[in-house]
Amino acid sequence: MAVYCVAAYLFVKSVVSQHGAEATNGRQLPGLLLDVSGKLLMLFIVIALFIALLDQVLARREFAKQMRMSRREVTREVREREGEPRQKRKRKQILAEILKQAAAAANVKGADLLIVNPTHYAVALRYRTEQGDAPIVQARGRNFWAQRMRRAAQREGIPIVRHPRLARELYAAEIGRMIQPRHFVAVADIYIALRRAMQQSERT
């Protein structure tokens, strides 16, 4: 409004100084007023366009300033989006463990027996004389995957042995590796018991 008032004042003052004599002539006065009104309207339109253009420039600049982030803000946003490096490594480890257990659940077939605790841990063992002096851990799983291994063992007719302590300890072994020497006696007793049970079933 201040710009409009100042512009109108300067414009009227200029018109009066230029056409002061014509303003006293009654015949020329209507034409003069019409001409001055048209010019004043065009001046207001030009001022309005200029203010609109200036407003757009200032608004865009302010928006760009607000959107511009410091290096600390950028780093924080990246961390929030992708997570801390430690959390990313933890997620990768969890994913790798899930994939390993999923693959292990499918490797129960061909095992000699499945040692369980009774729902949380499951370890499948396999013994072949040409592969070593002790059974190897063919597959292992925990919680959900232990349940899947139990169901797979039942489908394949693999003996399921409930031994909570031994199942927890064997779960720590790597897949494809022989069991630890401290587990030889306990595992051997299970194999012997299963063999005797099979011999008795064959006799009957």
Paired with 178 in beta bridges are 136
Last residue of one domain, picked from the residues 17, 49, 67: 67
Last residue of one domain, picked from the residues 42, 67, 92: 67
Phi, psi torsion values for 112, nearest 5 degrees = -80, -40
Residue 78's pLDDT is 66
Residue 16: inside a domain: yes
Burial 32-55 (b: 16+ CB within 10 A, else e): eeeebeeeeeeeeeeeeeeeeeee
Are residue 117 and residue 54 in the same domain, yes or no?
no
Residue 136: inside a domain: yes
Are residue 195 and residue 142 in the same domain, yes or no?
yes
State the distance between the two ends of the chain, measured CA to CA, in whole angstroms: 111
pLDDT (tens digit, 9 = 90+) per residue, 81-113?
666 667 777 778 777 777 766 666 667 888 889
Provide the domain limits for residue 134: 107-203
Contact 187, 179 (CB under 8 A): yes
Distances (CA, A) of 11 to 6, 18, 42: 8, 11, 12
| DSSP 8-state symbol, 135 | -
- Give me the residue label for tokens 């997620």: 91
Residue 74's pLDDT is 64
pLDDT (tens digit, 9 = 90+) per residue, 34-64?
777 888 888 889 888 988 998 898 888 877 7
Are residue 129 and residue 185 in the same domain, yes or no?
yes
Question: How many domains does the chain contain in total?
Answer: 2
Contact 31, 25 (CB under 8 A): no
Residue 164: inside a domain: yes
Tokens of 90: 């933890």
Q: What is the enclosing helix (H) or strand (E) of 196? A: helix 184-203
Residue 126: inside a domain: yes
Domain holding 154: CATH number?
3.40.1690.10
Residue 95: inside a domain: no
Residue 139: inside a domain: yes
pTM of the prediction? Answer: 0.51
Report the chain's mean pLDDT, rounded to a whole number.
81
Last residue of one domain, picked from the residues 11, 44, 67: 67
Average pLDDT, integer, range 71-83? 66
Residue 82: inside a domain: no
